[in-house]
Amino acid sequence: MTGAPSPATSPLLHATSLERRFGAARVLRGISLTVSPGECHLIVGPNGAGKSTLLRILAGLARPNGGAVSLRGTVPGREPASRRAVGLLSHQSHLYDDLSAAENLAFAARLHGMPDPEGAARDRLAALGLLERADEPVRRLSRGLLQRVAIARALLHEPTLLLLDEPFTGLDPHATSQVTTMLRAELQRGAAVVLVSHEVREAWPLATHAYALIRGEWALAGPVAGSADQFLARYREAMDG
């Protein structure tokens, strides 16, 4: 007997045969990915492999030249509901330099229709230990603090899909541990995470699946098995091959 899969267990994100070209350059080739709630998919790859482009496509900020992405049956980015489901951390902070961390997050909370934008902003900043610097313009914050504010912004509206591009960049060990704990809590509440990172050892405890993206193609893909060092050894082999 079969029935429709329940929304809680069915895949949240389904990408099939994604292709992306910039002029003559093929940046992504035949990329497929299925992400279910509670899963963390770790993607590693050299610079220029197409990782950030892939995240932009999954977020709905860029369109693929081939293939398709479905987020709970909708095209990411097209409808407000699909945009509400996604939290994106990219290489750039999405923050306004002349506004404080609290003002930036309150503005984002307002756009997401949250009932108490200022309160939500302060709660999220407090969780990342940023409350003392909450009222300073973000242009005055260090690289690491800015990264934490950007992470707070991505997590603010409790998205069901987190797309994180290098979340550990610029963070000290304490902040890295704070972010890891926060991401673990997000996974436990049923969110799914697609995490692009060069910091494989930091991200490995969170990962349920690991991929190596090399020259726009999956060189390694599958559920996590073994240690981070073993995965890195296979990744280096794939790079050399």
Partner 1 sequence: MGEFLGVALAVAAKDLRVERRSKTALVSALAFAVLTLVIFNFARDAASLSRTAMAPSVLWITFAFSGVIALNRSFTLERENAALDGLLMAPVSRGALFVGKYLANLAFVFAVETVALPLFVVFFGVDLRGAAGGVILVAVLATAGFVAVGTVFAAMTVRTRFAELMLPLLLLPFMLPPVTWAVQATARLLSGRPASEIAGWIRLLGLYDLVFITACLLVFPSLMDE
Q: Is 98 in the site for partner 1 (CB under 8 A)?
A: yes
The stretch among 14-22, 36-44, 77-85, 126-134 that binds partner 1 (CB under 8 A) is 77-85
Distance CA 11, CA 18 (A): 17
Quick check: 140 binds partner 1 (CB under 8 A)?
no
Residue 110 as a binder of partner 1 (CB under 8 A): the answer is yes
Encoding tokens for residue 186?
């997000």
CB of 196 to partner 1, least distance (A): 16
Among 36, 52, 53, 90, binds partner 1 (CB under 8 A): 90
Q: Which of residues 143-182 bind partner 1 (CB under 8 A)?
A: 153
* Nearest Cα to Cα of residue 36 among 1, 9, 61: 9
Q: Is 113 in the site for partner 1 (CB under 8 A)?
A: yes
If one asks whether residue 86 binds partner 1 (CB under 8 A), the answer comes out as: yes
Q: Rounded to whole angstroms, how far apart are CA atoms 88 and 153?
A: 9
Tokens of 164: 């994180």
In angstroms, give the least distance from the CB of 137 to partner 1. 7
Distances in Å between the alpha carbon of 130 and those of 37, 86, 146, 203, 214? 29, 23, 10, 22, 36
Shortest CA distance to 207 belongs to which of 87, 39, 86, 44? 39
Element (H, E) at 174: helix 173-188
Nearer to partner 1, 133 or 209 (CB): 133
Q: What angle do CA 67, 61, 29 make, to 5 degrees?
A: 30
Residue with Cβ nearer partner 1 (66 or 137) = 137
* Binding of partner 1 by 80 (CB under 8 A): yes
Strand order in the sheet with 25-35: 25-35, 13-22, 66-71
- Taking the least distance from each CB to partner 1, the nearer of 106 and 206 is 106
Interface pick for partner 1 out of 11, 19, 26, 61 (rule CB under 8 A): 61
The answer to the question of residue 112 lying near partner 1 (CB under 8 A) is yes
Residue type, 211: Y
Distance from the first to the final alpha carbon of the chain: 46
Question: Is position 103 an interface residue for partner 1 (rule: CB under 8 A)?
Answer: yes
Nearer to partner 1, 47 or 92 (CB): 92
Task: Report if residue 92 touches partner 1, rule: CB under 8 A.
Answer: yes
Tell me if 69 sits within 8 A of 14, measured CB to CB: yes
Give the footprint of partner 1 on this chain (CB under 8 A).
59-63, 77-78, 80-81, 83-84, 86, 88, 90, 92-99, 103, 107-108, 110-113, 137, 153
